[in-house]
Structure 1
């Protein structure tokens, strides 16, 4: 059998993940991760990867990008890179280039993820409907979601820009926080809260509410202090963050009717995994009025594979 080789790339707001693909299968020993900030262009990052991999010949490449995919030129939302199929094709020696949204690639990977990579967060007593729509949701540098629909002819993915919808709040405290996140922005989007920078700003607001000057802590610092329980303000920020996450994915489960389950991913989500087991998350997820029973029957899992989207890219070659 002839070997069809290609390149898979998952390009987020902070990191680029790449791997070689043979006959639709990711070669795990070729997986690499680069920091976007180390390169001026995506072509430079891909070129460096190919050089380190020995300049393999690739007939095609599927590039998943954290941006809306619309037309031949793609501009990232949370990073200054732009993408051109012609420019990337030249780096790859004339390979055929396909662009996907990064969550489109993640959704296509869901039927390929080993069950041991999915950690249960919420398991209802009802049995999982294996042929129902599934949803993948991620919070990292930004926030987004995509739905995997199973049809008689195969899988179909629905994508959006869910992070740019308006952040839903329910209490007076949350309204004050919403106004803080909206300051000089006109409004507070979901991504203003459910991202690394969002966790940082939520923590800043909790400091200000206590009459304290905001501390210069990174999202990783806040998560570490919250997980250890050593810093009450970081714990409060983490609980508010997962409350927003539960509420938003509960809303999305109704929009997409994702009765097949929800898969959570993203660096910030994983960093606060401990808090997903606390009541704030599940209560916010299930609190959907007359549809509470429906949403309460949807299982939620956490994906611990940071390279899953590469398999989704490989499936589209």
Structure 2
């Protein structure tokens, strides 16, 4: 049997590593590594190869939460730099490709089990040629369009989390000033991410004059949302509305008639509350284009390892093309 390929999904908090054969993730091969325990990616990959007894992978595909240009990238929320030459040396793989993590997620669409899909806004099954949009909300925020062409699937990279947070109301302006105190600029990711939810909760607590409740972490805030806590639900409502507004803006830019797909830890955590806390209204409130916005279905992807599936598909397509 030929050597397997190596896959690694490098987020701001964890790195997920797996093996693949013929465009499929090898069952039971997925391992999760906390990034805080390592100074760079190379030791993670070496440890994985050693633990799994993999000598030299046939090829490697890596996806990172940060911008990639000409085979070089730096993670946005982690002090790691990556490049294909160093990774080829670390793994011994003859072919190494480096993607933005949302590109990997985009390549997974259409290859995920139905029980990993949680509909928020239902819609008709997409036509094969229809554009799609994947939005990742976790440690950071990003989005990428997905185009299915005669030459194969094309998923261009972007850094959508660092555009300006859309502001309409006086409360929005107050929130922007609150976020600017910490970052100097109110970007989408400053509100729509794990730390974004914490910031939104701190803002609501300051508005409601309850500073003693402002030190909750993300998991504690979500637990408080489930319990009906006013400030936690207020933060979740801000999160849901802004996510809808941003998703709507991106939808008008890309026209994803094949559907919008939300992925990442924060997307999964917020999924049960989106419909009730303002997401749909935020997405569809576009003035004379409000009815037009009803054409876009929205689905939350619950599979935490979806990027690995996308990398396996992308890598196999690349290897087949080079034959």
Per the TM superposition, whether the score is higher than 0.5 is yes
User: Which range moved further: 251-260 or 205-214?
Assistant: 205-214
Determine helix, strand or coil for the equivalent of 1:233. Answer: helix
The answer to whether structure 1 residue 113 and structure 2 residue 112 are counterparts is yes
What whole-Å deviation, never above 9, does each CA across 1:255-291 have from its counterpart, x for those lacking one? Answer: 1111110011110111121211215110111111222
TM-score normalised by L of structure 2: 0.93
User: Which range moved further: 272-281 or 254-263?
Assistant: 272-281
Q: How many Å apart are 1:184 and its aligned residue?
A: 4.8
The 2-side partners of 1:89 and 1:127 are apart by 40
Report if the CA contact (8 A) 1:179-1:188 is conserved.
Answer: yes
Structure 1 residues not aligned, in runs of 5+? none
1:169 to 167, 170, 177: 167
- For residue 45 of structure 1, what is the aligned residue in structure 2? 44
The 2-side partners of 1:46 and 1:129 are apart by 39
Structure 2 residues not aligned, in runs of 5+? 316-323
The 1-side partners of 2:130 and 2:314 are apart by 21
- For residue 312 of structure 1, what is the aligned residue in structure 2? 310
Q: How does 1:264-283 map to 2 (within 5 A)?
A: 264-278=262-276, 280-283=278-281
The verdict on how the C-alpha distance between 1:93 and 1:128 changes in structure 2, with shifts beyond 3 A counting, is closer
- For residue 24 of structure 1, what is the aligned residue in structure 2? 23
- For residue 194 of structure 1, what is the aligned residue in structure 2? 192
Report if the CA contact (8 A) 1:103-1:159 is conserved.
Answer: yes
Q: How many Å apart are 1:94 and its aligned residue?
A: 4.4
RMSD value over aligned CA atoms? 1.5
Determine helix, strand or coil for the equivalent of 1:181. Answer: helix
Say how many residue pairs are matched. Answer: 314
- For residue 241 of structure 2, what is the aligned residue in structure 1? 243
Q: How does 1:176-255 map to 2 (within 5 A)?
A: 176-213=174-211, 215-229=214-228, 231-255=229-253
- For residue 145 of structure 1, what is the aligned residue in structure 2? 143
1:131 to 112, 129, 136: 129
User: Which range moved further: 38-47 or 109-118?
Assistant: 109-118
Determine helix, strand or coil for the equivalent of 1:158. Answer: coil
The verdict on how the C-alpha distance between 1:279 and 1:199 changes in structure 2, with shifts beyond 3 A counting, is closer
What whole-Å deviation, never above 9, does each CA across 1:49-70 have from its counterpart, x for those lacking one? Answer: 1111113430210000111111
Q: How many Å apart are 1:212 and its aligned residue?
A: 2.4
What whole-Å deviation, never above 9, does each CA across 1:26-63 have from its counterpart, x for those lacking one? Answer: 11210111111111110011111111111343021000
What whole-Å deviation, never above 9, does each CA across 1:97-150 have from its counterpart, x for those lacking one? Answer: 1101100010011021122211111114x5644431011101111000111111
The answer to whether structure 1 residue 298 and structure 2 residue 304 are counterparts is no
Q: How many Å apart are 1:209 and its aligned residue?
A: 0.9
Report if the CA contact (8 A) 2:7-2:18 is conserved.
Answer: yes
Report if the CA contact (8 A) 1:128-1:299 is conserved.
Answer: no
The 2-side partners of 1:145 and 1:36 are apart by 23
The 2-side partners of 1:276 and 1:310 are apart by 26
- For residue 61 of structure 1, what is the aligned residue in structure 2? 60
